[in-house]
Amino acid sequence: MKKVLLTFGLAALVIATGSASAEVKMSVAGLQVVDDGYKVEGEKGSAELRAFNWHRGTRVALLFKSEGKSIVKLDEKGSKLSVFGDGEGTDFMKAKSRFSSKPYRFERSDASSDGKALLTTVETEGVPKRGAASIVMEGEASILMASKSELKKSKKVALKKGSKFVVGEHRFEILSVKKPDWGDDALQIKLQSKVSHEDFKSIKFYDGEGKENESNQNGSSAMGMFGKKTYTVTFSLKRKVKNLTMGLDTWTDLEVVKVPFSLKVGAGL
């Protein structure tokens, strides 16, 4: 396994991942540093004036691209840093966080719809010292990748609140059925589950005769703590129907690809 070194600017190099089927390229896609803002003396709460309307900290956006298997998602818990600082003595690994027990976190990770790219942001509340020329970071990203999938379907259910689509071990409960708040689609359904829709290659719907009812995913959320989450996702359907079948296009060859990296990035974009 070989590390990739990224130097000043936002350059990209190919790295070896330890998997012959999954070559990955990585680049730095963005850098943001926000210092303390201005607060009127005596007022409670956060700073009144803040750069970019954001809280103090340093954020580095990392872009991963696949030349082989599809990128499913980032395993944020399995992704780790060993070095994070300004290269001049300021160690972000010692920074205190208001939101995590770790001094850094991988956030806002999102894979592209074609499975060829993933963007994540590494964030800390530490900031470089005045005049520092670069940010340094070493670590390992843990990425779930796959190339094969199998479509599995639920039984037909009545399209109403409380109905449940059951596909294997996965259950999706219908929370609501209504006319979409916007757009020309016929119906909007909101589903709740213990599994994220992002874990599947795709989710499809079929009418009572087995014909696909074209859909669009137009909203999602997640709530929970201590590793237990409840997910909701909303789909709009092109045609109004009374009964519906769900199809889960499920990955069958998921693998965890470890992507080690070492980077040094300056302000040049």
Q: What are phi and psi of 92, to 5 degrees?
A: -70, -15
Question: What pLDDT score does 9 carry?
Answer: 38
Of 25, 29, 30, residue with least CA distance to 4: 25
- Whether domain 4-38+46-147+254-265 has CATH 3.90.320: the reply is no
Whether the predicted pLDDT of 61 surpasses 90: yes
Between 269 and 255, name the one with better pLDDT.
Answer: 255
pLDDT tens by residue, 206-254? 998 899 999 999 888 888 766 678 999 999 999 999 999 999 999 999 9
Up-side HSE of residue 69: CA atoms within 13 Å toward CB? 24
For 11-87, list the strands marked E by DSSP: 12-15, 24-34, 57-66, 70-74, 80-85
Average of per-residue pLDDT values in the chain: 87
pLDDT tens by residue, 3-36? 444 433 333 333 333 443 348 999 999 999 999 8
Question: What pLDDT score does 46 carry?
Answer: 64
5-19, 37-51, 97-111: the lowest-pLDDT one: 5-19
Query: Is residue 177 helix, strand or coil?
Result: strand
Of 114, 104, 115, residue with least CA distance to 138: 104
Tell me the pLDDT band of 198, cut-offs 50, 70 and 90. confident
Two tokens at 225? 């703590």
Sketch the domain layout of the chain as residue ranges. Answer: 4-38+46-147+254-265, 149-251
Q: Is the Cβ–Cβ distance between 253 and 148 less than 8 Å?
A: yes
Its pTM stands at: 0.79
Cα–Cα distance for residue pair 160/144, rounded to 1 Å: 34
Question: What pLDDT score does 268 carry?
Answer: 67
